Amino acid sequence: MNAQASSIPVEDGGQASNRRRRGVLALITLGVAALAAAAAAYYLLVARYYESTDDAYVNGNVVQVTPQVTGTVIAVNADNTQTIQQGQPLVKLDPADARIALQQAEATLGQTVRQVHTLYVDNLQYRAVLAQRKADLARAQEDYRRRMDIAQSGAVSTEEITHARDALSNAQAAYDAANQQLAANQALTWNVSIANHPDVLAAAAKVRDAYLAYARNTLPAPVTGYVAQRVVQVGQRVAPGTPLMAVVPLNEIWVDANFKEVQLEHMRVGQPVTLHADVYGSSVTYHGRVVGFSAGTGSAFSLLPPQNATGNWIKIVQRLPVRIALAPKELEAHPLRIGLSVIAEVDLHNENGAALDNAPNTVYQTPVFADYGVEAEGEIARIIAQNAGDDAEQTVVAAGTLRDTQHVAMAR
């Protein structure tokens, strides 16, 4: 009796424990199912429209400052971490040799201009000589005609007629020689001003070349930015193309985000991107947009690309660089530096853009070197004006060339 009585509570307690266990398992199952349903709903409604990566880095232009001529460095006007403005002189080379070459070229140009100006002045002299020879020819023709008219009466001897004929021949020959001399000189000045004369243009080209060589002894900053990688030292002998320093324009930077190839199916140009830089943490949010995709994966452009046609091939998920443009105002408020780590998340809701064909074109240029040409042209114009003489006289001589030639042809 006692054994039976004691066994009844134990059996009832075991059944209660099983019921509690089954209840807990049911609750866990329901919880897991709810979490799975919530995760599935979150993926279908939110997560599948976003792709993110922490393999993203700030990138930008690194503008190299290199000399265009050989020379010895006499001054370095900027150092690492300093801000410089576009056109500011950064490095100066010894200009002594270039200055001498420029002075020689300028002297040659001035001499050439004066020589060419003499050609225009000679046109006036040759026209005067031609007019004199024309008058002598007319006088000889009149003397010969008068003697021939009275030759029938016997008042003029045959010898005198012969002398008149010889004088006419000499006058005609002198006129023809003066005519040819004027034509030859006019051929050197035909329909061209002193500034556009071939001899002057050749001398001006040498001045331009010498001036550029002289001006290039001062190396200006191609863009506004921060100096980095300065390696040049005073007294160093440099050759064209030698890297001296770099200038980084931090207002023109972007982010290269390396997404896995399986993340690119719905990614398009123009999609918005949210970014967080490790240097500022989650407290600062950048907003950008996708502007282009690389033409190949990172491994395809590596120094040693993989050779997957071997027998021990192992598949590795590839990553493709995606360029992301940043909002200028946000970048100005929170500056970034090249190489900083970034977390990028792309919003895939709008798939109207294209993957490759409508990436915007970007043009980078600097006007600082164009100033050299402008300054050279100004120096050439000054030398020509200083040595050309009276411009009005040049115009009259050049304009009268055609009329002179016509008068010569009529005189013949």
- Say whether both 210 and 229 belong to one domain: no
Residue 92 has pLDDT above 90, yes or no: yes
Residue 143 domain-assigned? yes
Residue 320 domain-assigned? no
Residue 405 has pLDDT above 50, yes or no: no
Residue 56 has pLDDT above 90, yes or no: yes
Residue 260 domain-assigned? no
Which has the closest alpha carbon to 230: 39, 98, 65, 384? 65
Residue 51 has pLDDT above 80, yes or no: yes
- Say whether both 74 and 150 belong to one domain: no
pLDDT tens-digit series, residues 286-312:
999 999 898 888 888 887 787 777 777
Residue 302 domain-assigned? no
Structure tokens at 54: 């922490």
pLDDT tens-digit series, residues 309-327:
777 778 888 999 999 999 9
State residue 394's pLDDT score: 46
- Say whether both 89 and 227 belong to one domain: yes
Q: Are strands 83-84 and 225-228 parallel, antiparallel or unpaired?
A: antiparallel
State residue 10's pLDDT score: 52
- Say whether both 132 and 186 belong to one domain: yes
Q: Does residue 122 or residue 403 have the better pLDDT?
A: 122
Contacts of 49 (CB under 8 A, 6+ apart): 347, 348, 349
Q: Is 133 exposed, middle or buried (0-12, 13-18, 19+ CB in 10 A)?
A: buried
Buried (b) or exposed (e) across 221-245, using 16+ Cβ within 10 A?
A: bbbbbbbbebebeeeeebeeeeebb
Question: Which pLDDT band, with edges at 50, 70 and 90, does 345 fall under?
Answer: very high
Number of domains the chain is built from: 2
Residue 110 domain-assigned? yes
CB atoms within 10 A of CB 331: 19
pLDDT tens-digit series, residues 192-225:
788 888 889 999 999 999 999 999 999 999 999 9
Looking up residue 71, the CATH number of its domain turns out to be: 2.40.50.100
**Which 3 state secondary structure label does DSSP give 84?**
strand
Q: Which range among 60-74, 169-183, 390-404 has the greatest average pLDDT?
A: 60-74
Question: Which pLDDT band, with edges at 50, 70 and 90, does 409 fall under?
Answer: very low
Residue 45 domain-assigned? no
Instruction: Show the beta-strand stretches assigned E in 110-263.
Output: 218-220, 225-228, 237-238, 245-248, 253-260
Average pLDDT, the chain: 83
In percent, the amount of the chain with pLDDT more than 90 equals 42
Residue 346 domain-assigned? no
* CA–CA dist 248, 242 (Å, integer): 18
Q: Is 44 exposed, middle or buried (0-12, 13-18, 19+ CB in 10 A)?
A: exposed
State residue 65's pLDDT score: 95
- Say whether both 209 and 114 belong to one domain: yes
- Say whether both 79 and 177 belong to one domain: no
- Say whether both 211 and 229 belong to one domain: no
- Say whether both 101 and 209 belong to one domain: yes
- Say whether both 89 and 223 belong to one domain: yes
Residue 116 domain-assigned? yes
pLDDT tens-digit series, residues 142-192:
777 777 777 666 666 777 777 777 787 887 888 888 788 777 767 677 877
- Say whether both 87 and 222 belong to one domain: yes
pTM of the shown model: 0.70
- Say whether both 113 and 141 belong to one domain: yes
Which has the closest alpha carbon to 321: 409, 254, 402? 254
- Say whether both 223 and 240 belong to one domain: yes
* Owning domain of residue 201: 97-215+370-411
